Amino acid sequence: MTYDTNSVPAGSGITVSKYADNTLTVLALAVSGLRAGHTYGAHVHTKPCGNRPADAGPHYQDRKDPHQPSVDPTYANAKNEVWLDFTTNAKGDGAAVSLNHFKFRPGEARSVVIHEHKTETGPHTAGTAGARMACFTLPLSPAN
């Protein structure tokens, strides 16, 4: 699903690869044809993509923040969430890898969302990365 065709033009591509064992989850993201020379945020979200950007739900968190939306750096951080921020080259291609020491809970990791800018880390803004530009639904965790 593309929500902003200026940042993610028609014909853009995305590939997500996953490796997981009992203690580790590795996600690799590769994109092509996006806006050149731009830094995007990208995260795993809890729901599948939908017609509206918000349909993908919040970021997947290993330890869920009781206060949503989560902007507390204790919860909204690259160790507790999957952050795949990347910067595109002159052709609009980019890539990122995230290594996390947790497994996804069944049915709770359902999409990858590309955001407007790099992920923030400060108090009251941690985990935010601007508007949702595009969303890719894929089964990152087994069904319930």
Over the stretch 22-58, which tens digit does the pLDDT of each residue have? 889 999 999 999 999 999 999 999 999 999 999 999 9
Q: What's residue 66's pLDDT?
A: 96
Query: 3-class DSSP state for residue 66?
Result: coil
Q: How many CB atoms lie within 10 A of CB 27?
A: 23
Nearest CA to 124 among 80, 45, 67, 81?
67
pLDDT band at 143 (very low <50, low <70, confident <90, very high): low
